[in-house]
Amino acid sequence: MLRQIIVTLCWLPLSLLALPAQADAADAAGATMAPAPARQGGAMFKIQRAGHSAYVFGTIHVGRADFYPFDDKVLQAMQHSSAIALEIDPGNAQGLADLMTRYGIYANGKSLAQELPPPLLLQLNPLLEKYGLTLDAVASMKPWLLATMLGISEYTHQGYLAQYGVDATLAAYAKKQGKPVVELETAEQQLSLLGKLTPAEQIQFLQDSIDEILDPAKAQRSLQLMTLWRNGDVDGMAAMLAELTSDDTFTGKFVQRALLDERNPGLADGIAKLTSATPHAFIGIGMLHLVGKNSVLAMLRQRGYTVSRVY
């Protein structure tokens, strides 16, 4: 279950690797102007405190064209919003190349072939071939970045594309409608979560990714996240997250510590600050930040917000 967690919660690596396809997100945003024929996915909550309110929508960072148009309730909340807030703006490329070089690319002539154990290289080669890649093409990538690329490639292989991710679509919609896009985090905050892993941790991270992709049962299970998101199954997502973070693997501990415990308080702070200063904000963050006992929504409740599900 590693890949869907990384793709769902770590938006920036995905947006960097998929940046050339952002034009497709604008097309999807245009489609949101038509009425939605059926439930289109996600879950939306209204938060209120001291006369201030906002909508919080659970996103997913890959998707398909048939995720759109959004449901009427979601679309109306977007239309009436004064700003769209996201983890980061996937269309903001300023400084990203330098950050990617700093955190995700080897320096001083190092390469993957030199750093990875031979058995891991043997496992890697057929996967690269499956996705139309070569070892030379990814030689400069650090293991965490390659692991992320493999996850994205597998989702693409299954028909879920980054350019149809909900965040990209929300950002494109905001810009088309002239609404400001507010970033709740920074690009460096997101990249550093993975970039600061030790070499040994990055290799384990890559090994876990490859093991999952090569296990048909685990690979198929990871796709269940899409169904849960499409159905707005918050309880199902909470159960999936609890299962992942309860194991003793490096990945399970990393997801709990770095992707949730270190990020959820900051996201809650950003939302609280935004709702106090900006009326009628529409906030889109990864769905798994919104479930579980230490979720962003739970933290907002602790701060006195009333949280009600409206979609």
Read off the pLDDT of residues 96-105 as tens digits, 9 standing for 90 and up. Answer: 888 888 999 9
Amino acid identity at 241? L
Predicted pLDDT of residue 74: 96
Predicted pLDDT of residue 218: 72
Q: Which pLDDT band holds residue 37 (cuts at 50, 70, 90)?
A: very low
E-strand ranges in 11-81 read 44-49, 52-59
Q: Is the pLDDT of residue 149 over 50?
A: yes
Amino acid identity at 253? K
Residues in the chain: 311
Predicted pLDDT of residue 151: 87
Q: Residue 119: which residues within 8 A CB-CB, separation 6 or more?
A: none
Predicted pLDDT of residue 1: 54
Q: For the chain, what is the mean pLDDT?
A: 87
Predicted pLDDT of residue 109: 86
Round to whole Å and give the CA distance between 147 and 203.
Answer: 9
pTM for this model (two decimals)? 0.90
Q: Which pLDDT band holds residue 21 (cuts at 50, 70, 90)?
A: very low
Q: Is the pLDDT of residue 49 over 90?
A: yes
Q: What pLDDT, in 10s, does the model give residues 254-291?
A: 888 888 889 999 999 999 999 999 999 999 999 999 99
- Residue 69, preceding peptide bond in cis (omega within 30° of 0): yes
Predicted pLDDT of residue 20: 46
How far is residue 271 from each of residues 51, 146, 191, 281, 308, measured CA to CA in Å? 15, 32, 21, 9, 16
How far is residue 127 from each of residues 109, 222, 284, measured CA to CA in Å? 24, 17, 33
Helical H runs in 231-285? 234-245, 250-254, 264-277
Q: Is the pLDDT of residue 201 over 80?
A: yes
Round to whole Å and give the CA distance between 8 and 255.
Answer: 11
Q: Residue 98: which residues within 8 A CB-CB, separation 6 or more?
A: none
Q: Cβ distance 176 to 31 under 8 Å? A: no
